[in-house]
Each structure stands twice: as structure tokens, then as C-alpha cells.
Structure 1
Amino acid sequence: MQRLINESETSTTVSELCAEYRANNVISKDEYEYFRVKRGLRNQDGTGVMAGLTHVCNVHGYLIDDGDKVPDKGRLTYRGMNVEDIINGCRSEGRFAYEEVVWLLIFGKLPDKRQYNRICQLLYENRELPEYFPEDVIMKNPSRDVMNKLARAVLTLYSYDDDPDDLSLENNMRQSISLIARMPAIMTYAYQVKRRHFDKQTMFFHPFEPQHKTAEAILNALREDRSFTREEAELLDLCMVLHAEHGGGNNSTFTARVLSSAHTDIYSTIAAAIGSLKGFRHGGANHKVRQMMDDIMQNVQHWDSEDEVEAYLERILRREVGDKSGLIYGVGHAIYTLSDPRAVELKKQARVLAEKKGFGDKFALYERIEKLAPAAFKKVTGNKKVICANVDFYSGLVYEMLGIPEDLFTPMFAVSRIAGWCAHRIEELTTGGRIIRPAYRALPTNQIYVPLEDRHY
């Protein structure tokens, strides 16, 4: 019988292996600069390397003037339409917007009344998971992390598809609608099972209602008494619209396009995109914002003191407090400079709800940090980059006011963003034409083969 390795031996072994790796695997920043490698597929000025073309979305945050980046007001357009106009239009007509955005992103035009009703009906009809799927896939294999469970469940849906590998437009359209519809169900089931198994709390499952739009269906599934207001549902719908898409270059969408270019199945593609979004440098950043804000609220005595708040932000940037990363989470973005339109919209709606739900002081602290962070960043780092609050800064606060648990902050992002992922997958399959395959320069040190007996290091 193989001898079991105890925890102490395992720790020593891993430390030795890591030391061996570090001794033989070093690539310096100087080497990257010498070979003019664009790390992270970024140009020297921080702009993204042009890797493809898309009709789906445009993200605007700066202008180029004589080769220099000039900060500009942020704009987000879906299929050439300003997302603010979509939100305002739907609200003025008393309609939820996420379903309309799903249609717009995939097909390229706003739906007419018949098409809008059709997409709403299709999402309801496809929302239920396959028979015994909740019991066999979710309940029997609970996960502490709902994002992990989302990815595993999506992968497992491959086995429930009679034609999972057909890459035709017709089949991918069918699969896309099915996955967009089912993601809220997977998320809410996974959360309820997590609550029961790991948190030792009661889990409950409510049936989906045909008249509910996606935001309403989610609140219906998460509230024990199934009670929510129209205002709450509209705010969640707003969050979903703002998270639905953000261009082909963001990490998770690029992941979806890379896998699609390899002509793999949609379930592998979406599961990989979920894995990307889970990362703290991407969708998981909203968890970091929440943790940072909890730390600030505990350690800043006077929330209304700009001097005290700014001093603590400077300590965060100097890696003295918080998670010692030196980052003010939720502030700064790869593209947006003067403003992130998603944060602007969320902040506008959050202010109203904050007063109604007794979050006024907390909301004021968020605003104060948003105001003071750029100056603190410049003072401590010496970097003159123009930065603003991004969508992650306010999204967690909005979810908190809606009673959505922190376990679901990033999963809600995924449930929303799958609309964009599917739109980009279909576009990649129909227009891409080549497998995405960037180059990596090899830096080998020439070695000769030495017989095992003669290896003495």
C-alpha cells in the first residue's frame, strides 16, 4: 500500500518543488522590453492590441491625438446604440430591458413588439433545467463557490444535448438561447444547495412564473417569501443590462472567442469564460471591493472626514493596510478614463434606493472614496494616469441593498454577461475564419542531454 504523506511532509515537498521551479524559470521585465513583447496583449500606452473585428459592442474611454491618449467621457454602445438610451427608453415605456438587450446583442437590431414577446417567451420556456439535473448535478455535488458550480454545470449540460458539437448557426442559436435562459436557474439552485450544505441554512426552491422577466425570476428564486418590488426588479434589470456585454477584448469574452475559434462546443466555451470571469482581476473584483470597503468602514472612524478617508486610502496604496496589494479596488479601468458609464448609471439609481433602505451614510462614503481616490493615487504613486470608479465599485453596494448575498456578486455578472459571450461566439464562428494563435518568443538556454547517472547539480 502506498504510504500516506502527512501534512508537514507535503508542505516541505511543495516548498522544495517551488524552489526548484523558481531557480530555473525567470523571465525579467527587461527581456519583455528588449523583445518588444506586448504583455497582456497591451500596447506600451496601455491600449489593447488590435486582435479582431466585431459588430457587437464598442467601449470608448479616450481619444488619440497625435499619437497621445486624451481622456474622454466613457461611452458604452451595444450594436452602435448607447446603453443609456436603451435603459432610458425601456424605463419610459415601463418595460424591462435585459431581454431586449439579449435580442439586440445577438441579432443586431432592437426587437419589434412581436420579437420582444417572443424572446421573453423563449427564455421562460427554456429556463427549467433538464429532468433530475438539479438533483444529480447540483444537489449531489455542492460547491462552496457558485462560480465553480456554474462552470461545472454548464459543462455537464453537454451530456444532455442530443447534438452538442454541431457548429451550424441554427444549432448554436438554439444552444445560446437555452444557456442564457438556464444560467439564472443554475445560479439560484447552486446557491440554495451551498446554503444548505456549507452554511447549514434552509434551502428553498420556487417555481418559475411565466409572467416574470429574468430579473424578476432571479428575485423570485432568492427571496424566501418570493416578495419584491417593481423598483427592486428594475434595479437588478439595470445591473444585468450594464453587465451584459463589454466588447471582444475583455478577458472572459476574448476567452470565449479563442475557444470558439478552435471550433469547440459551446458548453466548453462558456465554462471557460466563466472561469475567466471568476478571477479577481476580472469579474471577481466586486468581491475585493466589498472586502476593501468593510476594512475601510472598520478602520476609518469618521466617514464624513475627507482628510481621514484620504489618509487611509494613501495607506492602502502604500501597502500598509487592507490586503497589502496597494490597490484601491473598483477605481481605475483599462479603457475608461474620465468616467465609466456603467458606474455612472448604477450610482444614479443606487442613490435613490440608498435613502429608502437606510444606506445613506454608506453610500456617501462610497462617493467620498470615488472623489478622493484619484488624487491619493497620483500622490502616492506619482502616476498621472486619469482614473475613475468602475462598475465593480458600485455593483456590490447595489446588490447588497437588493439583499443579494455576496456569494452571488460575481455569478450575477456571469448570468448577465452570457448574452455577450453568446453573441461573440456566434460572430466568431460565422466571421472569424481562423484559429486565434498569437506568438510567444522562446527563450531557451541550450542544453545537452546528460545520462541520469551523470547528473550532479
Structure 2
Amino acid sequence: MVVNNSQGKSIVEIEQDFLKTLDDNSYIDPSLYTKYNIKRGLRNSNGTGVLVGITNIASVVGYEIKDGIKVPIDGKLFYRGIRLTDLVNGFQKDDRFGFEETAFLLLLGTLPTKDALEEFNRVISYNIEFPKFYKEDHIIKYPSNNIMNMLQKQVLTLYTYDKNAEDISLLNTFKQSLSLIAKLPILMVYSYKAKKHYYDNDSLVLHRPLSNCSIAENILHMLRPDSKFTKEEARLLDLCLVVHAEHGGGNNSAFATHVVSSTGTDTYSAIATAIGSLKGPKHGGANIMVRAMVNNIMENCNWKDYDSLSNYIDKILNKEAFNKKGLIYGMGHAVYTKSDPRAVLLKKKARELAEIKGFSDKFELLENIENLTISKFKARKGPEFEICANVDLYAGLVYEMLGIEPELYTPIFAVSRIAGWCAHRLEQTRDEKIMRPGYISISGENEYTNINDR
């Protein structure tokens, strides 16, 4: 053991001493939030969000306020005022891919004409090109075992290749946004391939992105060794990208984008910040927790028997099983109450693909978890209580059916949500006011003492 001072303490012992001091001086008594009327987590006491800004990009609706009371309603999500369900039904009815159209809508605020969409796709295809030897020098030679961290690093690295990186004019920020939207899927797949090769001893097979494909098609093309995928698979991944593309200015990563962009910093720093926010298990990492919970259920009960499943869910809720936190992951949302429109859309398509790919039993398990959780919360909290499946409950199964590994669940979320982040950045850079909320200090005043008298 390493000894670092004259008293013979080991580094570990010194760290433990520091930890005690740190713990004593970093704890905030939760009762103080009530005492000072602090909106903890920027949430009001009735569960609504504290108003901190104005946006024209998206609206998330899960309840109405009537006479000061929050009344649950079926969830609605609007992209630039257009209902997500209408947007999805529109491009699916025309048998088209929708993510590029969605990105256009979020960034520019209007639906594209056929010609405008074609031009937009041309610009995206143009931006899939990287500087010479970039992939070899920055991805293959320096892999990471965490793809989200790798995406952050790569976005910041791209800054060094941009001659106008610090230019935050509207046009330049828009150009940078299109470049990052085009490049992030490639960075994700190549980072994953490098990780599998160097950390998991897998073969290294890299496919160049195709210029005449949608982003969803290109992801499957680059991910799969044989580059083969069905139309249904590509359409389903495209739907995943669309429903994850944006979720209002109040979600943590979009809010982080606003906060950082308000300082006047560059696009790459702002997007790297958003990726770091999304990485957190309470935000974009929640889909991984759903998979872990479902695997735990399948290992510890007769999940095909409704009563056995019901009893095990009780154990999870009673903090006796799984991670003993009493949470059913994939259920509940900060805004949605009766339904999450993203989950409704994904569930419908997941059911269709599950029948094709032989995942009907697993789909039924998720549906049973959803129904049991709703009924159990009503029994525990009253018949008026509303809780719904959120997008994460079915997203994991969709990715599993597409052969996508869990370590890519959150990175794919980032590949999608970057469209929303860039839209929020474009909006925020028009406002020259820096965000600086207030904090109450409880430190008081302390006397400085000489080091020999401490």
C-alpha cells in the first residue's frame, strides 16, 4: 500500500478522511428547500415545471390546469405546432422516411416542400464527409468503452477542424448544425465498432455511409456486417429517430443547450454539453434500466404467468426486488399522465415487428407490465391517479428486435435528439441574455484562521 506522509497514512486512508470532511460540508438539508420556497429540480409542488423561458420549437402537453388543479389528459407532443402523430401518419402514409423531414421542420420551423426536402437531403449527404484520415486518427486509434463519452470527445474534436468554429452567426450555426446532424450517426457507429474491436475482441468491419440513403438506413447499413436490413426494420428505426428528436425546452439536455448557448460559446461545446446531459441514467439512460429490469423479471419469476408476474411487480414496488428502489422503469413521466404519444406510436409498430420476428411473448410481457403497473398505482394511490408507459418501455424492445446492443440505446437517442438541440441553440443564440438563476447561500460568515491554529 502506498504511504504518502510522515504519519504513515495510506492514500486510501487519506481519501477516506477527505470524504468525511466532504460529506459533512456538501450535504443540504432537504427541509431547507421548503423553508426558502425553492423549486427543487425546477419543479413546482404540483409537479409542473417552473417557467424559465419561451420556445417556438416544441410543446409537451400531458395535463390541463383547471381552478389551480392539474387534470390528466391524453398526452400530446407538437413539433413546431404540428402534432407528432399527424407528422408520423403523414410520412408513413406516403411510405417515406421521416427523420430528415422532422429535422428540417425543427430547424427551420416549417414543413419542407418536395424540392426543399430534396435539397436538405443533398446538404446532409454532403456533410457526411470527414476530414482526411479523421476516422483513423481520432476514432480507430483512440477507442473508448463508452460510446456517449466518445461522442462528446468527437464533437469537441470536430471543433479543431472548423475554421469558423467560433462564429455564432445564424447562418454559420445552421451550417454547423447540419454538419453535426449528418456526422453524429457515423461517429456513433464507428466508435461502437472500434469499441467492439479493441475491448471485446470483435472483428473490425467498417462500411462507408451511403449518400443516397436515409439516416436510419445508413445506421443499419453501417452497423451490420453484411449491410442487410429489411424495409420494415429501417422504417421502425426511422420512427424511433422521429419520436426522440425533440421534447420541448424543459427537458434536461435541451435546457442545458439553452444555458450553455446563452454564454455565447461555440456550437461544438453546446452540443457536447447536451450529450453529457443525455448520458445520465435519469435522462437518456433510462431505456437501459428498462432492459435491466425486464431481464431481472424474466430471471426471477414465471413471467408468462400473469399472477406470478403481478406478485413480482409488487416486490419491485415494495423495494424487495430488482434494484430495491421501488421503481417500475418505463412507467411514468414528468409531464405525461394518461398517455405518452411517443410510446403509443412505438408500441403500435413494435407489436407489428414482434409478430414478424418472433418476439410476441416479450412484447406481451411489456404490455402486462404496463397494465399491471397502472392498476397497482391506482390501488395504492386512488382510482383517480394516472400513470402511463413512457417511450422507454417499448424502445428497448424495438432496438433488441433490430439487433442493436444496449450500449447503443442512448447514443441512438443522441443521434436523434441532436436535431432538437440544434433547433434550441439556433433559437437561443438570437437572445443575447445570459442565463443566471439565483441560489440562496446558507454558508453564513466564517472567520479565517491561521494554518497553525486550525
Contact kept in structure 2, 1:188 and 1:221, CA below 8 Å? yes
Distance, in Å, in 2 between the alignment partners of 1:379 and 1:446 is 50
Distance, in Å, in 2 between the alignment partners of 1:249 and 1:323 is 28
Per-residue CA distance 1:260-298 (angstroms, 9 max, x = gap): 101100000000000000000000001111101100011
Distance, in Å, in 2 between the alignment partners of 1:216 and 1:319 is 42
Contact kept in structure 2, 1:167 and 1:263, CA below 8 Å? yes
Shift of residue 304 of structure 1?
Answer: 3.2
Structure 1 counterpart of 2:79 = 78
Rate the CA distance shift 1:340–1:195 in 2: closer, same or farther, 3 A: same
SS of corresponding position for 1:160: coil
Letter in 2 for 1:450: T
Structure 1 counterpart of 2:318 = 318
Distance, in Å, in 2 between the alignment partners of 1:97 and 1:14 is 52
Contact kept in structure 1, 2:304 and 2:365, CA below 8 Å? yes
Shift of residue 56 of structure 1?
Answer: 0.4
Letter in 1 for 2:400: E
Distance, in Å, in 2 between the alignment partners of 1:333 and 1:110 is 29
Instruction: Tell me whether 330-339 or 115-124 shows the greater mean CA deviation.
Output: 115-124
Distance, in Å, in 2 between the alignment partners of 1:284 and 1:348 is 23
Per-residue CA distance 1:386-445 (angstroms, 9 max, x = gap): 211101111010000011111110000000000000000000111x33111111001013
Rate the CA distance shift 1:335–1:119 in 2: closer, same or farther, 3 A: same
Shift of residue 129 of structure 1?
Answer: 2.2
Instruction: Tell me whether 330-339 or 122-131 shows the greater mean CA deviation.
Output: 122-131
Contact kept in structure 1, 2:244 and 2:417, CA below 8 Å? yes
Structure 1 counterpart of 2:256 = 255
Superposed, which structure 2 residues align to 1:205-284 within 5 Å?
205-284=206-285
Superposed, which structure 2 residues align to 1:287-326 within 5 Å?
287-301=288-302, 303-326=303-326
Superposed, which structure 2 residues align to 1:411-450 within 5 Å?
411-430=411-430, 432-450=431-449
Shift of residue 55 of structure 1?
Answer: 0.8
- Structure 2: unaligned runs, 5 residues or longer: none
Shift of residue 452 of structure 1?
Answer: 1.6
Structure 2 counterpart of 1:156 = 157
Contact kept in structure 2, 1:310 and 1:376, CA below 8 Å? no
Contact kept in structure 1, 2:4 and 2:10, CA below 8 Å? no
Q: Does 1:386 align with 2:386?
A: yes
Superposed, which structure 2 residues align to 1:121-140 within 5 Å?
121-140=122-141
Rate the CA distance shift 1:382–1:143 in 2: closer, same or farther, 3 A: farther
Letter in 1 for 2:118: N
Structure 2 counterpart of 1:363 = 363
Shift of residue 306 of structure 1?
Answer: 2.6
Contact kept in structure 2, 1:332 and 1:389, CA below 8 Å? yes
Distance, in Å, in 2 between the alignment partners of 1:378 and 1:81 is 32
Letter in 1 for 2:164: D
Superposed, which structure 2 residues align to 1:334-413 within 5 Å?
334-379=334-379, 385-413=385-413
Shift of residue 26 of structure 1?
Answer: 2.8
Per-residue CA distance 1:197-255 (angstroms, 9 max, x = gap): 11100121112222211100000000111101111100000000000000000000000
- Give the number of aligned pairs: 450
Distance, in Å, in 2 between the alignment partners of 1:433 and 1:386 is 40
Letter in 2 for 1:419: A
Contact kept in structure 2, 1:317 and 1:377, CA below 8 Å? no
Contact kept in structure 2, 1:261 and 1:428, CA below 8 Å? yes
Contact kept in structure 2, 1:337 and 1:387, CA below 8 Å? yes
Shift of residue 146 of structure 1?
Answer: 0.4
Contact kept in structure 2, 1:330 and 1:392, CA below 8 Å? yes
Structure 1 counterpart of 2:185 = 184
Structure 2 counterpart of 1:451 = 450
Contact kept in structure 2, 1:77 and 1:83, CA below 8 Å? yes
Distance, in Å, in 2 between the alignment partners of 1:39 and 1:382 is 26
Contact kept in structure 2, 1:192 and 1:204, CA below 8 Å? yes
Per-residue CA distance 1:296-345 (angstroms, 9 max, x = gap): 011111x2333221221121122211112221111110000000000000
Contact kept in structure 2, 1:300 and 1:309, CA below 8 Å? yes
Per-residue CA distance 1:104-138 (angstroms, 9 max, x = gap): 00111100011111111111111122211111111
Q: TM-score, normalised by structure 1?
A: 0.95
Rate the CA distance shift 1:385–1:154 in 2: closer, same or farther, 3 A: farther
Distance, in Å, in 1 between the alignment partners of 2:381 and 2:408 is 33
Shift of residue 17 of structure 1?
Answer: 1.6
Structure 2 counterpart of 1:56 = 57
Distance, in Å, in 1 between the alignment partners of 2:227 and 2:423 is 32
Contact kept in structure 2, 1:129 and 1:185, CA below 8 Å? no
Rate the CA distance shift 1:399–1:166 in 2: closer, same or farther, 3 A: same
SS of corresponding position for 1:73: strand
Per-residue CA distance 1:138-180 (angstroms, 9 max, x = gap): 1121111100100000011100000100110111011000000
Q: TM-score, normalised by structure 2?
A: 0.96
Instruction: Tell me whether 281-290 or 314-323 shows the greater mean CA deviation.
Output: 314-323
Letter in 2 for 1:230: K
Distance, in Å, in 2 between the alignment partners of 1:107 and 1:445 is 49
